[in-house]
Structure 1
Amino acid sequence: MKKTKIVQSYWSKAYKNSLNYGWAFRETHYMSWALSCLQLKQFYNEVELVTDSEGAEFLVNKLHLPYTSCKTTLDKLTDENTAIWALGKIAAYEEQQVPFIHVDGDIYIWKPFPKRIENAAILAQNIEKNYPFNINLLNEMHEKKFSFPFPLSSGDMCETNMGIVGGHDLEFFRGYCSFVYSFLDTNRDKLEKLASGVSSINTIMEQYLMHEYAKRCGKKVEYLISSLPNTEMYKLTLFSLLPRDVSFIHNIGSNKKREITSDRLARLLYCAYPEYYAHISNLLKQKTI
């Protein structure tokens, strides 16, 4: 049976909004993408990159990452607000024509995804429940008259972490993408009013709407990690547990800004792929990246 296609997306203009691309050091951004892609290629024959022209130049032509195909679909986002970085991922989901697993560039795997994930109609990383920041943001959006295509629940606020996401139900993903675009278009005039800035809309737009849309469609989401309390999310970032105790790392949130994270990631790349480590180091010395 043919392996599910892996997809990664890279909207270059959105990444430039963050100092050092969100990491402690800009070189870690380069090394993260290299390690993520190379580890995926260890287990999957087809790893597609959906990006823009600048991203293709960076990841394929400069870093020489071995993607099996590269599409510059995200050039169509030229006129979009780059603070809404989730649009790059949504556009990548939308164009898929065969079953897929989208994997973020800060995720590294040490074995294939389980068959239940590869064969799922809809899959994602895990459920996040009652994050205080997002609860407050949702309340603020309600107060500022944001329009939602469904009544807001008074119960737990659940979101779907989409570090990995995909599946065989392509019709669901087309509907989900339309759902997100409709929400965004209806509320564009209110985004600048958010106290924490336009970028705060991303997790609501991507993760909260995903969970709500699946629930309202009566669809089951197969989660890679079935139960993970908010207080234990940090365990996904522990390089020290590789490869014996864990086979999946996701560098979430503020962990990227820790210098020790950059050091450990660089060491991993150096040990596993010394030629890529050397290549990136040379590019940095030559100031071509």
Structure 2
Amino acid sequence: MRAVWSFWSKPYQARKGRTWREPHHHLLAWGLSLRQASKHYPDTMLVTDKAGKALLIDKLGLDFKHVSTDLEALRDADIGWWALGKLYAYSLQDRPFIHLDTDVFLWKPLPLSVAQSPVFAQSPEFHSGVGAECLPAKIEAAFAHHGLSLPPEWEWSRSLGESSFREENCGILGGQRHDFLRYYAQLGLRMVRDPAHARAWQELSNKDGYNMMIEQFMLSACLDYHRIHPQSPYRDVRVRYLLPNWADAFDPAKIAQVGYTHLLGDSKADGAVMQRLERRMESEDREFYRHCLWLGQRMAGT
């Protein structure tokens, strides 16, 4: 199984999405995430753009087996859509893979029952699907206002009228059915980047939460829709989770058992958490730690 990371540099430079406390913490996390996962999955790949390669490969010196700058294709994309880099990386995969966020650290390999499944993700998330203020409803209203259709997977999922909707947390995402994951990723990319949809997206100026809709809700909708579609080539695709419940990601005993850490949300800006990251990398590789400090200071202009 190939271990894949993605880095679209433009949203990072613009501080879109969840940001790190200091630049060197971002660099340290890259080193630790790659170091740990490559112990279990030595076939490693970075999908980035030219600026990302200059930072992570040329300056930081990370040792990926494969490096792609295919995210140059996003050079004119709206940086508010920070999840596009991940979707693009998913769409490129031609073999079983695991994609890891930069803030994910694998202390153990995935259980075989997870790694050998058609699709796996970190955990399911459930959110209220009722009312005009829920995020899917806002997207639906904007598309309807301009006479635009949403993907059939989306429309089918929302037509069920359930009181909540499910997302797949994509701290890790992958599986054996890379063809299905490529289909889903391309669907999400088209939904965002189709010029015909531009008028609808202009009504939703702050894209932050909508990234989760395109990456995580779209995946759930595709999984559920194709599972029951009698003619779908993906009818046998099922999802398994490393953590069966969202709350498990915050349970020290559960995450220690599976050997998995995901620095969710604002934890990347938490001083105590970042001190632990610093101590870990300093003890493992003092030279790399010092290089991250030096490079981080240059990036911060100090």
Residue 175 of structure 1: CA displacement?
A: 1.6
Amino acid at match of 1:33: W
Aligned to 1:228: 246
Map 1:1-289; keep pairs closer than 5 Å: 4-18=1-15, 22-130=19-127, 136-145=134-143, 147-149=149-151, 150-151=155-156, 152=158, 153-155=160-162, 156-184=164-192, 185=194, 186-194=196-204, 197-218=206-227, 219-229=237-247, 233-235=249-251, 247-284=259-296
Q: Do 1:15 and 1:21's aligned partners in 2 also have CA atoms closer than 8 Å?
A: no
> For 1:125-158, what per-residue CA distance to the aligned partner results, in whole angstroms no more than 9, with x for missing partners?
1100116899722222233345422241421210
Distance 2:171 2:112 in 1: 18
Q: When the two structures are superposed, what TM-score results if normalisation uses the length of structure 1?
A: 0.87
CA shift in 2, pair 1:264/1:20, >3 Å: farther
Q: Do 2:98 and 2:174's aligned partners in 1 also have CA atoms closer than 8 Å?
A: yes
4+ residue stretches of structure 1 with deviation over 4 A? Answer: 131-135, 241-246, 285-289
Give the CA RMSD over aligned residues: 2.6
CA shift in 2, pair 1:113/1:131, >3 Å: farther
Report the count of equivalent residues: 279
Amino acid at match of 2:52: G
Structure 2 residue runs without a partner (length 5+):
228-236
> Secondary structure of 1:144's partner?
helix
Identity %: 28
Structure 1 residue runs without a partner (length 5+):
none
Amino acid at match of 1:215: D
> Secondary structure of 1:157's partner?
strand
> For 1:38-59, what per-residue CA distance to the aligned partner results, in whole angstroms no more than 9, with x for missing partners?
1112222111111111111111
